[in-house]
Amino acid sequence: MSGFEVFESSRAPIKAWTRGVPIEDAAMAQLRNVASLPYIHRHIAVMPDVHWGMGATVGSVIPTIGAIIPAAVGVDIGCGMMAVRTSLRAEHLPDNLHGVRSAIEAAVPHGRTDNGGRNDVGAWADEPPVSAKARWAELETGFNAVIEKHPKATHARGLGHLGTLGTGNHFIELCLDEVGDVWVMLHSGSRGVGNRFGTYFIERAKHEMRRWFINLPDQDLAYFPEGSEGFGDYFKAVSWAQKYARANREVMMEEVLTVLRPIFPDLTVTVEAVNCHHNYVTQEHHFGKDVYLTRKGAVRAGAGELGIIPGSMGAKSFIVRGKGNPDSFCTCSHGAGRVMSRNEAKRRFTIEDHVKATQGVECRKDAEVIDETPMAYKDIDAVMAAQADLVDIVHTLRQVVCVKG
């Protein structure tokens, strides 16, 4: 028996690895909208962490020929995970990890204003570190090429955000694997500059649809046809933002390790490290065709490739090795996946619920992070069981420190 279920649409079928983790009605409606588009190649693939998103569901894999949908990639372009295994062992960690969490929080800008306002304080207040400046110098030419043609796509704090965490479900963690080795793991993307690029080109695509009187089942499925000026400009911009997101994670990782070394003088990093996107578009070859493959909340899982599937605060995470399953377009889930909205989580759960759910994890336990409490997410064990034919588990990690924006 195959690991996926097949759902029909008006055009392309939907193959979903969702046994034991049902799909919400709103997400299924979105999946059928996407599958009905004329440029979908073969089918769309759905991961077990699937849930409603803007235009396209989070946890979906969309192969297209001759078009790209900017909102399917989203505004957190290149968002993804990075993890490194260190020489530290569980027995090297102090009983009280609050000081370690505080040191990481001081080293990496994150979050918003203290009163929960919209002003982003997750940027370098004065001068970015040398690591951020060096990476920005490498990226500057590509950024300038985009904004010279599209000045309205610029973001003034691009450099100020390189090496910063952000908000929402972005995090930095110390984890222990099954044998007690300490890992540093983090989750972030292209920050303000990627958000601006994404927002700008989504609106450009919608404008093009109106200009050509193209009707869509959802305006957020507005697309750029290959060969058009918008297509070429967007692909350059999104490719740059994906490089920026990867560099952002690398700078943050370097800053975290730098601040940990005075606390743990013998710390070294092993050769085992992973850095993978889970919101992006790329060119790949599947079922006999070269396609533009959009993974929205999904990780590439080619045969032998390492990836990261995090749980939620207080839940297990996994380092995995892909099996290269062709039906999934060599893909696996990007996490547990939300089971309810942020507002619903805040309405349903209390601080006491959150404290109990994150017992044993040094993390924030206040009202501002209840929307990220483990109960707001699907059961990670069920998610992993549903994709057993997509990945093998290499390491099982449990958080001991979690920094949230």
Q: What is the pLDDT of residues 142-181, one digit of tens each?
A: 999 999 999 999 987 767 799 999 988 899 999 999 999 9
Residue 116 predicted with pLDDT over 80: no
Query: Token pair of 317, please?
Result: 């995470």
- Count the neighbouring beta carbons within 10 Å of the beta carbon of residue 90: 12
Q: What is the tens place of the pLDDT at every residue in 320-357?
A: 999 999 999 999 999 999 999 899 999 999 999 999 99
76-271+302-321+377-404 belongs to which CATH class?
alpha beta
Please tell me the predicted confidence (pLDDT) of residue 112. 62
Residue 119 predicted with pLDDT over 60: no
Mean pLDDT value across the chain:
93
Please tell me the predicted confidence (pLDDT) of residue 120. 57
Residue 115 predicted with pLDDT over 70: no
Percent of the chain scored above 70 by pLDDT? 97
- Position 107, amino acid: A
Residue 239 predicted with pLDDT over 60: yes
Please tell me the predicted confidence (pLDDT) of residue 228. 97
Residue 190 predicted with pLDDT over 50: yes
Beta-strand runs (E) in 302-351 = 306-309, 317-322, 331-333
Average pLDDT over residues 245-274: 93
| Distance separating alpha carbons of residues 242 and 153, to the nearest angstrom | 16
Query: Token pair of 9, please?
Result: 């649409």
Query: What are the extents of the domains in the chain?
Result: 76-271+302-321+377-404
| Partners of residue 124 on adjacent β-strands | none
Please tell me the predicted confidence (pLDDT) of residue 145. 96
- Residues known to be catalytic: 334
- Position 317, amino acid: S
Average pLDDT over residues 102-117: 75
CA 286 to chain CA mean position, Å: 23
pTM of the model: 0.94
Please tell me the predicted confidence (pLDDT) of residue 191. 93
Residue 82 predicted with pLDDT over 70: yes
- Please list the alpha-helical segments (H only) found in 261-392: 342-348, 351-357, 380-386
Please tell me the predicted confidence (pLDDT) of residue 271. 74
- For 79, residues 6+ apart whose C-beta sits below 8 A from its C-beta are 187, 188, 189, 190, 245, 277, 278, 279
Average pLDDT over residues 16-41: 96
- For 130, residues 6+ apart whose C-beta sits below 8 A from its C-beta are none
DSSP, collapsed to helix, strand or coil, labels residue 274 as strand
DSSP 178: T
| Distance separating alpha carbons of residues 125 and 103, to the nearest angstrom | 17
